[in-house]
Structure 1
Amino acid sequence: MENTIRWGIVGCGNVTEVKSGPGFQQAAGSELVAVMRRNGELAEDYARRHRVARWYDDADRLIGDPQVDAVYVATPPASHKEYVLAAAGAGKPVYVEKPMAMNAGECEEMIEACRKAGVPLFVAYYRRALPRFLKVKQLLSMGAIGEARFVTTVHTKKLTEDPGSLPWRVRPEISGGGHFFDLASHTLDLFDFLLGPIRDAAGRAGNQGKAYEAEDVVSGTYVFESGVQGTGVWCFTAYQGGEMNEIVGSRGKLTFSTFGSEPIRLTTADGIGDYSLEHPEHIQQPLIQTIVDELLGKGRCPSTGESALRTAKVMDELVKIHS
């Protein structure tokens, strides 16, 4: 591990094809040396297509591979805790997909296991390292909108799921919840990054479309430690999809999307300014680079188990009451 971090992936599914997998190969000081999937044929196919030296159909074998320095867990949330604990038990740093786990309690167990093992734990809230959101943070830091006062989020999506063939993301026994846990987690974690920790939250969850068991609508309020207040509505059975965040301050406001490519808009008494920043091809690569840099003693990663735990706690509170 002196000059290069050699990675192994547990769960080389869709998210690893473009978003993350190539990032481990292209980040400086990083190499992807092994992948695992329970279906050995699919693991072998991935390894061949991505020019990865070794593949496994057993997670323990990959985690125990002496040529693997660090482990990326890219499975659905139901197995995150199991594999993170296994990696920690092997004394290996671990990077786990978001949401970090099924609930905040599991997150705490994962953090404690890594602490006892003396290994770092990172979480794939990769927006913390993207140029687009670093620009938002810069504008806030330079006082472009004055002092932040409140934030709002509205996120809608059409109901497209077939009740007879539900994707894992809306099956609570696999994902921990519905689209709220998968999508809103990015936005809430991003606000933690931009404005600091949220100190308390309250909300209501419901199931309006009746297409699956998970919540399909959530509304809530929250307050940051700084005193900034926030509100959000996430509805996944609306007539159309859309998503936007707004941070209102004492001298202006910032409007931006968590998932879209619309320009960041700064509105003040002096007028309107737009900032367009493209995402990198492999969207997790900037965060992966910060992880590699930290493991090599060259920097710090902004997305840790502790920061992801804060996001998990907020989500748990926002869905605590079902109406």
Structure 2
Amino acid sequence: MDWGGILNNTAGWLLSPTTIAYALAATGLAVHFGYAGLLNFGMAGFMAIGAYGYAISILSFGLPWWVGILVGMVGATIFAFILGIPTLRLRADYLAIVTIAAAEIVRLLFTTTVFDRWTNSADGLAGYHAGFRAANPFPPGSYGFGPWVFTADQLWTRVFGLFLLAIAVLIVWLVMRSPWGRVLKGIREDEDAVRSLGKNVFGYKMQALVLGGIFGALGGVVISLPSAVIPGTYVTSLTFFLWTILLLGGAATVFGPALGAVIFWVIMSFLDGVLPALASAGILPISGTQAGTLRYVLVGIALMLLVIFRPQGILGNKRELTFVK
């Protein structure tokens, strides 16, 4: 078994654009669920809108890359209003059903041939990287050490993604310490009590949905920076991965989503290397394909144990979550 290769590949996921993108989206989900109590299962839709808004604005309209990011953010804001106006008065499982359906509608709209001129339907979009890479401040060459050796373009993608994540974390830290954040937490605990104090509960929920959705769109942009926008990425399993990351790090925490993303993808990468190797060596009586699937089973079991024995997550405070009282 090539332990060196497995460990190097696992360590590489610490700074992977995928890890950073999921951390961004999970931060948005923390605003939705951890602080506002919104059971949103449609974060994949916000990520898809961010990624497609970024790519389409560059490819079809020739806009600069940074304007493409703004387009993705505006698209996520519009989607939040379209989703929130008819649904934010729903509670718990009803909201979850509507949001997961909305995310699937968004994905299917991007894959339909009706909009093939802009979305390239099921084939996705590529070739929009020139502007972003031209803005790279790092000279050509190799950077880093050990398993973290990157080209200038790879380093620029990671640095920019970490920059966006840092801004998102800072914004969440600031707003949740503000009166707005305290009202939001009150809505999570008992929205009827907050409403009796004269607060516009619907308005606060909508603001939280928009803010978290923008973070999700930025996650979609980051995950599309290294390669292409592929509609198969934004399936329901993406949202479930985000929920796993959120619950792992801590739902009502500032740094929990980032920590959860790192732990989740490091474990997934490690198991993806170890389990097929064990199967090939005859230690596990299963095929290599089955070994690759087994990692999802193990992660699912770990998540169930986490919810049972530490529902607040690694960094969470048990008093922050109403469902553990």
User: TM-score with structure 2 length normalisation?
Assistant: 0.21
Greater relative contact order (Cα 8 A, min sep 6): structure 1 or 2? 2
Higher-strand-fraction structure: 1
